[in-house]
């Protein structure tokens, strides 16, 4: 067996500058760890204070839990009735309005009232006759009832005179 010989030079210990630099980094990292722990503790205290304030401000949780099943059924029925009063039949209503639409007419506002089954409309037309023709076409629609022209006024839109029509109608859906 052959003998191994190591041919290496003896190393030297690092000088005082790298040693002091390393100790400085170690000291700074220790200080930063202490600051981090202090901030984490303060954050935990603040989180607890926030949760306590939110618990004090929040309303009482679910008062309906003590109600009987008959009371809950009555409330459910009232909610369903209220929803039926506020539901707007958008699809048939918009289909009806699209049937009378012309390229020169601009619908500015549609304001339905589901409780009364009534809709208010504001339409912008380039000519007054087109607006009156719209009123007549709306009266001919089977889904609308009691179509009225409430007001008609001339309006300057970007330098050209247009007619603003304020209409209202009831729906039969």
> How far apart are the C-alpha atoms of 102 and 147, rounded to whole Å?
18
Segment 42-49 shows an average pLDDT of: 94
* Residue 2 in this model has a pLDDT that exceeds 60: yes
Contact 131, 125 (CB under 8 A): yes
For the cut 90, the answer to whether the pLDDT of residue 63 exceeds it is: no
What pLDDT is stored for residue 66 in this prediction? 58
Q: Which two tokens stand for residue 161?
A: 């005179």
pLDDT for 28: 97
* C-alpha–C-alpha distance, residues 61 and 166, integer Å: 47
44-53, 54-63, 112-121, 140-149: segment of lowest average pLDDT: 54-63
How high is the pLDDT of residue 148? Answer: 92
On the 0-12 / 13-18 / 19+ scale of CB atoms within 10 A, 134 is buried
Give the model confidence (pLDDT) of 98-124 as tens digits: 888 888 899 999 988 887 888 999 999
Q: Which residues contact 63 (CB under 8 A, 6 or more apart)?
A: none
What's the pLDDT at 61? 56
Q: How far apart are CA 117 and CA 80, in angstroms?
A: 18
Least Cα distance to 108 among 78, 84, 134 occurs for: 134
| Most confident listed range (46-60, 65-79, 135-149) | 135-149
Pick the range with the lowest mean pLDDT from 2-6, 38-42, 91-95, 168-172.
Answer: 2-6
- In contact, 128 and 165? CB cutoff 8 Å: no
Please indicate whether residue 24 or residue 99 has the higher confidence score (pLDDT).
24
Q: What percent of the chain has pLDDT over 90?
A: 38
In the predicted structure, residue 20 carries a pLDDT above the cut 90: yes
DSSP for 112-140, please give it. Answer: EETTTTEEEEEEEESSHHHHHHHHHHHHT
């Amino acid at each position: 067996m052959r003998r191994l010989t190591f041919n290496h030079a003896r190393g030297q210990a690092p000088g005082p500058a790298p040693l002091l630099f390393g100790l400085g980094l170690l000291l700074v990292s220790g200080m930063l760890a202490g600051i981090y722990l202090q901030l984490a503790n303060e954050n935990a205290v603040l989180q607890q204070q926030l949760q306590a304030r939110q618990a004090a401000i929040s309303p009482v949780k679910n008062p309906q839990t003590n109600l009987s099943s008959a009371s809950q059924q009555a409330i459910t029925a009232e909610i369903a009735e209220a929803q039926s009063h506020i539901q707007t039949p958008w699809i048939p209503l918009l289909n009806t309005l699209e049937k009378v639409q012309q390229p020169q007419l601009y619908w500015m506002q549609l304001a339905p009232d589901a409780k009364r089954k009534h809709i208010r409309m504001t339409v912008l037309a380039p000519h007054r006759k087109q607006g009156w023709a719209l009123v007549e076409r709306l009266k001919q629609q089977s889904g609308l009832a009691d179509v009225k022209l409430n007001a008609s006024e001339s309006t300057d839109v970007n330098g050209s005179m247009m007619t603003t029509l304020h209409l209202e109608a009831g729906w039969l859906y």
